[in-house]
Amino acid sequence: RPSWLANQSSYFSFKIWVTVPNRAMGPMVAILPWVLLCLPVTAIRDGWNSKIDSITLDPSITLDPESKNCEEGQKTRKLLQQLGYRGPLDGDHCTWPGITCDDDSCTVKSLECETCSGPLPKRIELGSLETVHLSSPKLKGDIAAFSGMEELYWLQLSGTQVTGDIGALAETKVQYLHLDGTGVHGDLRAFAELGLWDLDLTATAVEGRLGDLAGEVNSLGYSEKMQSLHRLRLGNTSVTGNLSDLLAFGDIQVVDLSHTAVAGGISQAWTRGRCEFLHTLRLCNSSVHFVPGQDLQELKRHKTDDWHKVLPKLRELDVSHCPVNSAVENLLLPLAMSAQLTSITAADSGLHGELPKFTDTEAIVDGSKVANFTFPVAKSLLMLDLSNNNVSKLQDLPVQPGLGRILLRQNQQVTVEPVVLVEALKQEIMVDLSGVKAANDNEVSRIVKGGIVPTTDMLAFRNESAGYACKDVVGSVTVNPPEFLPETLCQCLPGWHGAGATCQICPADEFSNGTGLEKCTKCPGNSTSPPGSAKLTDCICGFGSLHDGMCSCDRHQALQKTGCTVCSKLHLQCNKTGSLASTAKPELSHIRLEAKAEEAYRCLPPVVGQRCPGSEECGVGYTGTLCAACAEGFWATGGTCQPCGEANSKTVGILAFVGVAAVAAAFLAYYRASGQQAPQQTTVKMLLQGLMLRQGPVLLQLVQLWSVLSQLQQRSSSGKKLPEVPYLETLQLTTTELQNSLNLQCRFHAETVRTLAALSSPLAPLLLLGCCAALELYQGGLGVNAALKALTLLYIGGASSTAELLSCQSEDGDGKNLGNFAFRKAIRHLSCSQNDGVAFWVNAVGSSSAVAYVVLIPLFLAGVMVRQHFVCQEARLCNAYAKEEPRQITIRVRTLPAEVSEVRPKRLLAAAAAHMATYCRGKRLVQLHDGFVTISESQEVEEVQQDQLDELDVVKLTADTETSKKIDALRSRRLAEMLTERIMLDETEDRLMIGSKPLLCKYTLCQDIWMDVAMKLFAVALVSCGSMADGWKWAFALSLGMAVLVGVCQPYMQPQVSKLQSLSCLGLALASVAFVYDCAWLARAALVAPVMLLLWQVRCPDCMEALAERLYKELQSELPKLERGESHAVLVKQLRF
């Protein structure tokens, strides 16, 4: 402790250098901490306040004199770095991976590196190296880098990219040299003086003669320097020479001259201990023929001692692809005494002849003939490869049982002794006869068929392209069945024919459905098949498919001329295979149009199931096309055919017809009586009767058109008619319905009755109109009146009968066209294609009736409309106006100057009645003056109930006061014009107007008669819609349009009639949709709704127009009194229940 630190209380630090050799650094690192533990103890003893902060080892400081003199480490590091070594190079070089040093721990003796990929230096300075093993495929450089290395005796550079002349190694002491797979070159004589033990130059560019490698030989023929050569591998080089050059290498053990130009063979010189240690000899693809020449017979004289044997230690011989070109025995017998020979490979060597016997055979041994001798090679040999030669016979198994293999692949024809096959299987010796045909196939076939040689149960070997399959031999014997024993092991596959493995594909339109068939079978008629068909089902039928070996249609299909068709499309029953469209039964509700027809058509509703029961014949009572007509002994009613014995089945129809006729008679009688005398006082009952008489024709027209639209139901999914339709059709009031009701078809010839009824139905209304014309001659206006009433009842029935007479049923129940089988709807036994006989009269009557109903009758009504325009024109040229005064209203009428004076009072009264009906309620006094009329309130007070004449006038109820006044003014003027037209019709002498007066008075104004023309055309249009494909759409549109038109125009005198007519047209629109979509409740509702409206209107049968007409008639009856200036009191009130 220094004196200057005596009084200091501080710390100080110091370093201790410990110098040790590098190789002792490891142990020193472990010992040093324990040594330094002594320091704190010493410091404390001396009074030091000491502390060891750290211990630092610096290996870079080397003070070992011996380490300084070891330059091997620096050279080794440099060499490894040049060779591209990537590992750590710190510390002692002797500890580096792959480095082995001498005992002095400095001199490098061995270098081994598998990852060194860098180039070799020009010269390796480690002259003390004895072994070098560099195996990286990326290693490059010149072999000259190892020249001058006097200590080198082992050099292995296999698989590297090292190049250079091998002569660079001539000055070395290398004994183990492996340069196989490198790029070195040079001549073999460069190694003649090295005394090598192991030389491997496989796949290099080395060349030279094999004898040059031996160098100088002594008197015994052995090489002076290469006597100790044990392994020589020169395969795949350009080395030449003779095989006998190997005799100079006395200790040779392994020789590989494959793929070289070495030639020659063995001779007597190979005996007497020459190459006695050689155990591996590989000569494949060389020029060696191996088989001895002149010494062959001598070598076949076998000796038991090794001195006279050829290659006594030989274990492996490979002469594959060598030009041996000799008999098999010439190759094998010279080696027969080799007791260690385990493998002989002589594939593709030009061998021929029989494989000699090696067991239990006769041989010359030691100069004596020995019987039943077994050569030693037969006990040691494990593999004998004679593939791709021309061996002709296999009569022995010269290999060890259980392990031995004999390869005779691709030897064409070989006579295989049956006993050999049996023994091979028994001893589990592998015998490969692939590509070999048994020359003695009959003998081998017997043992195969007898089961002595087992085969697979299934056809294990298949050749699809050649069309055969074969069983294979089970066990250690390998054969190619189609070549070895084709007739026994092979069979032709399905789709082929022939014998064994000689098979031909079945031609087109033939098949073979089994194996081993010699001939193919022809496909059934009407079927074809592609070449190679293997089963019956490969025969493709021109129609249908195969059933019971024949081409026929499948179930639910039938044969047509063009092929098989699904029976449901033809509406046929095909519950079994092989059905014909011409004979299969039709489906239920379907029938053929003619015998043997290939398609059935759906029958027409109703009762399609009864009409067409699903057989070749129509149902009981039906006949004709689609079974639409009735057979003899049956009568038509409601679209069905009933037996004549059930004539009372339509009693209800008869009663309905009679009831309608009675109603029509009462209707005509009433109209006739109503035109003769007007009642003195109108009652509610009388108003109701008048309203009912106006509404009755509307309901009748509704029922008639509703039954016409029911024809649309044929196009619905069910096609069934509603049960009430036949009875409502009676209200068509046609002769057809009359004869149905009277059952005339059963009383007379049914077909004739139906024909006459169909012809008379359109003509009857027209004939009745002709009678009315005659009546018109008797009394003016009477015939016109009767004709117009007849048209009201009979027009729709006549028009629908005309349409039915002219129309053809050209579609079946499904809408399919019938073609030439179309028939008349009215006369179902009559074809539409006929034009003579009855068909002529049908066309004549139908065409003329159509002209009458569509053209003449509407023109007649149009003439009435035009005529009334001229007759009632003056009513439209007068104008009434009222002046209100206290307690009195004065009404004046402006008329044409040329008007007759006696008409003026009636017009004044008409204007007064229209004004009172519009504005007044209660008692009023009417007084006629010269040129005007006054209306005043009566002094008598009578309570009058508030009427509801305008309860359904939506326009007026929603209008304001001013608009309401204008509406009342227009209505008053319209009523005045109506009453004025009535006055002019009463006074006219025009016969047409006299007869048309009831029709004209049905409307508020005479000019509204256009509605009658429109209704007739509307009826004709609906009748036409019944036979159209999309008729329901037109019917819906027309009916809806007519409903709107009537509802808006309100043409009828009673608003109740207009509303009923509008609702009826709306019901027809709904009915057209209901019939098509099978909505029965909607169709019935469309028929019942107008009836319900009629019953609702019964409670109030009065209206403003009727009130005005009543007031005018009352004032007209008091006209004389009024003309005298007297006043007349009238009661203005609504009549109701």
pLDDT tens for 1052-1088 read 888 889 999 999 999 888 988 888 888 888 888 988 9
Closest among 450, 463, 320, 458 to 388, alpha carbons compared: 320
Tell me how far apart the alpha carbons of residues 524 and 508 are, in angstroms, rounded to a whole number: 12
Contacts of 695 (CB under 8 A, 6+ apart): 1056, 1057, 1060, 1094, 1097
Determine the pLDDT at residue 29: 47
Q: What is the pLDDT of residue 929?
A: 85
CA distance 460 to 477: 15
d(CA 643, CA 820): 30
- Region 995-1005 average pLDDT: 87
Give the three-state DSSP class for 79: helix
Mean pLDDT within 1005-1018 = 87
% of the chain with per-residue pLDDT over 90:
22
- 836-888 pLDDT, tens digit per residue, is 778 888 888 888 888 988 888 888 888 888 888 888 877 777 777 778 877 78
- DSSP one-letter string for 688-702: HHHHHHHHHHHHHHH
Kind and range of the H or E run holding 503 = strand 502-505
Mean pLDDT for the chain overall: 82
pLDDT at residue 17 greater than cutoff 50: no
* pLDDT of res. 60: 42
Chain segment 32-67, per-residue pLDDT in tens: 554 444 444 444 344 444 444 444 444 443 434 344
pTM given for the model:
0.54
The CA distances from residue 903 to 245, 993, 1004, in Å, are 167, 19, 21
Residue ranges of the alpha helices (H) in 947-990? 954-958, 961-987
pLDDT at 896: 58
Q: How confident is the model at residue 958 (pLDDT cuts 50, 70, 90)?
A: low
Name residue 580's beta-bridge partners. Answer: 559
- 1010 has a pLDDT exceeding 50: yes
| Residues in the chain, overall count | 1137
For residue 413, count other CB atoms closer than 10 A to its CB.
16
For 444, phi then psi, to 5°, come to: -70, -35
Q: By the 8 A CB rule, do 479 and 473 touch?
A: yes
pLDDT, position 40: 46
Out of 17-26, 343-352, 1057-1066, 1092-1101, which region has the weakest mean confidence (pLDDT)? 17-26
DSSP string, 237-249: SEEE-BGGGGGG-
What is the mean pLDDT of the segment spanning 390-408?
A: 91
Strand-pair partners of 831: 823
d(CA 245, CA 229): 13
Look-up of token digits 């048209």: 791
